[in-house]
Each structure stands twice: as C-alpha cells, then as structure tokens.
Structure 1
C-alpha cells in the first residue's frame, strides 16, 4: 500500500463524514419544520484491486443521500380549520406562483387575503376539484384538471326553498263549504308560508284550506304577489283526507313551484282534524343571500363552506397524490417534492381510497427528525473525522520521513 493511497483514503473518509455532518445540520435546523422529512447519509466501500499480492491498496468511502419521505411524522393539534395533516400515505398537490405543480406534506394553509386562495407557509397554493357540477371524476395519472381552492369563489349564496311542511289542527267543527274553490271565493281557513326563490328573495305563498267533506279538505297555494290568480289559478291544489281518529290518510304532499324558484315539496301529513280551534304552523327551507364565515374539512378531503346561518355546503374536494417510491422524490425549496425517474409517476385519488391516508383538520404533521439520534450521529461523525485526520497527519509525516531519507 502506498503512502499516497493512505492520504487519499483518509481524505475520502473525511469527505464522507463531512457529508454526514451536513445532513445532520440540515435535519437539526428543520426539526421544527412542518412536514419536513429527515435526510441521512449512507456509506459504502470502494475497494481497489492490487496486482501485488503482498501489497494492499486502500480504497475509499462512497456516500449516498437517502430521504425518509415515506416515514410519517407525529401530529400536533392546532386551532385553525385550514391546518391539514395526512395520516398515512399521500401528498397534497400544490402549485407555486408560476403555476408549476408540486407535492407536499406541509399542510399549514391559510386564506390569502388578496386572492382568497389557500396558501401554506411556503407560499404554495392548495389544489383540488370543484363540486359545483357534482362528484368529480379525477384524472388518475395527472393533475392538469385540478383547480385552485379559492374561498372568495364561495362568496354569498342564496338557498332556494325546496321543501317545507304545514302541520297543526283543522277544526273538526268547521262546516263543509258550499262548493270548493276555484268555483267561488269561499274557504274555511287561510294562512301563509314564507319561501325563497332562486336569488334568495322572499316570496309569500297564501295557503287556502277549504273543508269539502266531513273528513276531506282541499289545500291550495297561491302567489300572494299576484292576487289576480285567486281564486281561479292556484299554483297547486291537494286533497287531504282524514280517518275516524282525525289523522291523515296516506302521506299527502303538495308540490309547488315557487315563483322564480324551485319546485318544492310541502308535507301535509302533520295536519289533523280534531275538535277544537284551528292551530296551524308551517316551515320551509331556503334563505336569503348568506355570506361565508369560514371553511371546514372532512377526513375524505371535502371542503365545506360555512355560512352565517350555521349551514354548510360541500364546495371543493382535496385529492391525495402518491407515487410508487416516495423516498425517491426530488426535494425542492419550500418543503415540496417533484417526481424523478426512480420515484414513478403521480397517481391521484381521494383520501381513504387505494391505500391512501386520511386528512385531519386542525392538525399539522411534525418533522420526522429525532434530534437525539441526530446528535448521536454528529458525535460519531466528529470522532471518525478526527481519527481520519490523524491517519492523514501520520501518513503525511511518514512521507516527509521518506523524503528526508533520500536527501
């Protein structure tokens, strides 16, 4: 073995430990970074063949950088509904300001004031599917069909009435009308019901009830804003029949199309015909325009808009992307990753499907760095580096001695 070989081997060993110290330093400084994945240095020997069986040619040490991207970090609870953590496999799909896509586990998303987008601390925007046209059909091996999840687009929303009910008592003591509407303008009881059209404007439906038999009533609905339709042209008329106990026979339903609104079904089965006074009440869903007060997320990635009237609506769905070999993804600044030749191509699906994890709101995935283990690695590297440096110094001294002998 030549003395020059000793020097080369020692330098190789010091370089290898320098790489290890570099990864330790990176891991420690990112120990508190959301979704950060630990980097490690693996060593392998490089041996050199010797033609002289009595001599030994020392080789070198090669280093390979490994990233524990598939290793999950612990979850820490937060108070923000838009903080998201993945339990299990998968990555959020995000885009930078230039529109380039990336994968990340860093789910510290906040609403960006100027744009209304959900952006994480690295400045990357969360992507998903709109539910405006129903359940999405994702492109399985691509992400070009994803949209920016934007809170401003949820905006104000009117909720047209689609269902309601009329319940209570119709007095059994009411005499039977001489004739039922619309032949003449006679009725036994009149009330009204407030409903909402497509733009959230309140409409009032007059509810005209006429006793047409000893156990039979006619219930008609009119647009109060159009009095000319009474009594000849009701929006709809339904017959309600009662048994000997004063309960409705069957399930009477009146289907009414709200003016400039939706077809709504009004349940009349809660009406009774008993002795005593009239005592009626009515309900209808829908509302005037309401504003979005926040968002919440389901474990399957569904994004719900929360409205000021304490209702919610599914508006987006966040997918999870995955690759065949996550540990071979290429890291980029901002705690994001891109695919590589060894990682495989992106496959897209939803949380809880095909081996993908679930999404947890009000939580963030912590770094998977173990600071204690990193400090141990640092001490080991320092010790080995120092030993290699002493070998180098000894070899250098031997060379100097050899040179002096020639002199």
Structure 2
C-alpha cells in the first residue's frame, strides 16, 4: 500500500502545484488591472493517521489561495478629475446596477467616468455609490447610499445672500441741514431729482435673485448733523419690487457713526421688509410677483464696530474700496471632480462650485476574508464582517488621493521566481509518480 500511497501523494503534489501555477498566471495576467489584489498560494500537508505507532502512510499536500487584499498597490497620478485612489484601509462602495443598491460590492478600482446618463462608473462597469448632500453640503442620510449622478444639476443659479461693503466717507463732507425722513434718498432717485434729498455719495451694486437675474441695488449715504453721523439707505428700482413692501423702492434705512480714529462706532440699519424687522436683521427683498423669483434675504455687513474693515470716515474723497458678495447668475455644468475629502464637486460656467455627493469608504474587521468576484470587486462574507462606512480619513478609513489610481499589488519579479519554483516542484512530483510506477513495474516482475 505504501507504493500506491506514494503514487497518490505525487499526484496530489502535481495537482497542488498546477493550482499554484494558475494563481501565478492570474497575477501576471492582471498586472495592469487597476486596484487588483494578487493571490498567494498556501500549502498544507495532509496527514493520514497511522494504525500502528511505527507505520507511516503518506498523505500528500493541499493548496489554498488567499488574496493579499490589504497589501497596498502603488499610487500613480492620472490627471483625470474623477479618478481616485485609496491610500490605506478601505474600499469604494459600488453596485452592479444603478437600481440595485441593496446588494453593494466593494472595490479598490477607482477609475470612474460619467456614462451617457451621468452616472459615475468604473472601467468594469460598476456604479459608484455615495451619500447625497443637501444644499449646505451635508449628507442627507449616512445610512443610505445612492448611485453618484453628476447630471442631476445641469445648471445652477445662486441668489445673493451676503453683501459686505467697504467704503470711505469723506470726513470733510458738509452736513445736510433740514428735515430728513427714511426713504428721502430713494425718492430722489425714483423721481429723478424732483423730490426727496440727493445723497452725498452712492454706489450701484449688482446682486442676483433666485432665478439668476442680475438686479441692481444702490447704497446711498447722506451726511447729517451730529458727531460724524451719516444716514444710510439701500434701495432698488421700484419696478422690480412689490410696492406695498418697498414704498419708493426702499429696502433698508438707518444711520452709522464713526469714532475719532475713523473707525465704525455704530450702525443701525433697519429693513423695510419683512414687516416688524429690527435693526441688524437681514434685509428682505420682495421681488414683484411677475418676475417669478422668490423673496431674497440679504445680510448687509458694513464692518465690525470699532474696526476699519468696512465703512470708514477719513479725510479723503468718498469712494468704495471693495464689495464682497456671493450669488451667481445662470451657469451650465462644465466639470466634475473628486477632491481629497471624497466630495464630488460640480463646477459651473458662472464660477459656482457645488458639492453634490460624498464618497464613503467601507472598512471591514477582516478585509482579507472578503470574497473576490469577477470585475475586480469583493463581496462580504461571514468571516469578513459587515461593512462600516466612514468619510475618508475618519475612523480608520484610508485617505483619498484624487486624480490618481492604485496599481495592482503584483510584483512581476516575485511572480517569475514563484513560477520557477512551482515548475520545479511540479517536475519533482511528476518524477515521484514515474519512479513509483517503475517500482510497481519491478514488483510485477518478481517471480516466485
């Protein structure tokens, strides 16, 4: 029986080495596959328990394959704005179909590009999943992932919500003497000088409504009696405003004063809309209904009290030094990128950049136990544990390297060395088979 046992042992060795060669050939074939994780052959002896203490029964060898999933491949820059590589622990979450996100798969292959419908898909056709963001750039639901679609926003407008004005008001300006009421400067503008009070200094400022229409508001200043005191009005063309909310086109009015160093000492600007607004509240703008635009809310910043970062009063000509505002008119989508924090950003022709998704990184308790599938993806197993989704760089998740890809973690020199060893081991096991066959043949020739 020992000769037959040796024969089967040699056969088991040949089978194990052939499977090892299959693993090596798969590694070599995928040396250019993005994010590929090479397989490693592990060998273990098969021991047959002897019936007697001194007897020996040959068992053989068995081969098993383990994928080096946690071994990092080299990161290489690609220049593509929608490519991304994970440096460290974790996987991208993908789905085989855009409508089937309940059975996610996991991959390190981050070569994503928009398809004809705007979905980001990698080179193997899998859909990238991410957290959808609200208008403030925060995840709507971190427990739900959706296919990342970059054409959900084909155009965008942004209403102006903040306006900061930096200007110097001439300290030598003569004081205006006489009665003055809120809206007098707006009335003067509206009636082309036929009524109201002419401002000492004014500046036109362009803002945007909710539809992206450019609108002009005017900031006007009038030197009034008192210690470095000025009246301020913000108004616009009455034809664009609801008359009941903005009589004469008035948006807001109030006073500012300055200290002896030219810095802002006080500012009390009260909006005309909405009704009951107090000094310092955002300026509401009730656009005329026929425009279709929703009401605007504008935070007016004239600088810090005691500072010189906004309005000042120095001995110099009244002039505007800067106007800082947000908002943008109509803009079309002209680019998409993935940044280092995992945010998918859409840029538009009006200069607006909006975060629309965040890419989560999936981590596992035992990532080497994941089950490899065709297309360079993995599925969870009992041994791997369930996926834990984290933002990039948080809670043990790896960092994202944008515009880069992770190469296969296969070293060709190492694979060729293993190939030589495997070939020799296979030949040696084949020699065991042929030698055992010769011994059996010799046994058959023995005569009584």
TM-score between both structures, scaled by the size of structure 2: 0.83
1:93-115 residue CA offsets vs partner (Å, 9 max, x unmatched): 00112624100000011111x11
- Note if contact 2:371-2:379 (Cα within 8 Å) is conserved in structure 1: yes
C-alpha separation in 2, matches of 1:183 and 1:68: 75
Q: Are residues 54 and 235 of structure 1, via their aligned partners in 2, closer, same or farther at CA, if it must alter by over 3 Å? A: closer
* Superposition deviation, residue 251 in structure 1: 5.6
> In 2 relative to 1, CA 27–58 (structure 1 residues): closer, same or farther, beyond 3 Å?
same
* Pick aligned residue for 1:264 from 274, 286, 298: 298
Is the CA contact (8 Å cut-off) linking 2:82 and 2:338 kept in structure 1? yes
Superposed counterparts of 1:2-401, under 5 Å? 2-52=2-52, 55-97=55-97, 99=100, 100-112=103-115, 114-132=116-134, 134=136, 135-136=138-139, 145-171=144-170, 172-182=172-182, 185-189=196-200, 190-214=202-226, 215-226=228-239, 234-250=250-266, 255-258=282-285, 259=287, 260-269=294-303, 270-275=310-315, 277-280=317-320, 282-401=323-442
1:252 and 1:268 in contact (8 A); partners too? no
SS in 2 for 1:327: helix
Q: Which 10-residue stretch deviates more, 203-212 or 1-10?
A: 203-212
Quote the offset at 1:246 in angstroms.
4.3
Deviation at 1:55, TM superposition (A): 4.3
Residue 291 of structure 1 aligns to a residue whose secondary structure is strand
Equivalents in 1 of 2:167, 2:141: separation in Å? 49
Equivalents in 1 of 2:92, 2:295: separation in Å?
39
Q: Name the CA distance, whole Å, in 2 between partners of 1:288 and 1:397.
A: 89
Q: Distance in 2 between matches of 1:236 and 1:183?
A: 9
Query: What CA distance in whole angstroms lies between the structure 2 residues aligned with 1:357 and 1:183?
Result: 59
Separation of aligned partners in 1, 2:434 and 2:183: 117
Whether the 8 Å CA contact 1:235–1:257 is kept in 2: the answer is yes
Once residues 155 and 266 of structure 2 are traced to their aligned partners in structure 1, the CA distance between those partners, rounded to angstroms, is 40
The residue number in structure 1 matching 2:307 is none
After superposition, give the CA deviation of every residue in 1:319-369 in whole Å (9 maximum; x if it has no partner). 111111111100011100001121111111111122111111011111111
**Do the aligned partners of residues 181 and 406 (structure 1) sit closer, same or farther apart at CA in structure 2, a change above 3 Å counting?**
farther
Q: Tell me the CA shift for residue 232 of structure 1.
A: 5.3
- Secondary structure at the aligned position of 2:417 is classed as helix
Contact in 1 for aligned 2:160/2:296 (Cα 8 Å): yes
C-alpha displacement at 1:52, in angstroms?
Answer: 4.8
Deviation at 1:162, TM superposition (A): 1.2
User: Partner of 2:19: helix, strand, or coil?
Assistant: helix
Residues 295-342 of structure 1 show CA distances to partners (whole Å, capped at 9, x for unaligned) of 233322122222224442222111111111111100011100001121
Q: Deviations over 1:84-131 (max 9, x none)?
A: 01111111000112624100000011111x111111101011111111
CA, structure 1 residues 208+146, in 2 after alignment: closer, same or farther (shift >3 Å)? same
Deviation, structure 1 residue 267: 2.4
Change (3 A) 1:349 1:292: same
Distance 1:51 1:280, change over 3 A: closer
Separation in structure 1 between the aligned mates of residue 221 and residue 398 of structure 2, nearest angstrom: 56
The answer for unaligned runs of 5 or more in structure 2 is 185-195, 270-279, 288-293, 304-309
Q: Distance in 2 between matches of 1:274 and 1:231?
A: 33
Q: Distance in 2 between matches of 1:42 and 1:211?
A: 88
The 1:55–1:276 alpha-carbon spacing in structure 2 relative to 1, beyond 3 Å, is: closer
Question: For this pair of structures, how many residues does the alignment match?
Answer: 402
Pairwise CA distance, 1:268: 2.6
After superposition, the Cα gap between the structure-2 partners of 1:138 and 1:265, relative to the gap in structure 1 and judged at 3 Å, is closer
Q: Which residue matches 2:276?
A: none
Q: Is residue 138–residue 349 contact of structure 1 (8 Å, CA) maintained in 2?
A: no
Residues 208, 108 of structure 1: alpha-carbon distance in 2 compared, 3 angstrom cutoff: same
Seen in structure 2, the aligned counterparts of structure 1 residues 48 and 148 have a Cα distance that, compared at 3 Å, is same
Q: CA deviation at 1:242?
A: 2.3
TM-superposed deviation, 1:292: 2.4
In structure 2, how many angstroms separate the alpha carbons of the residues matched to 1:85 and 1:7? 49
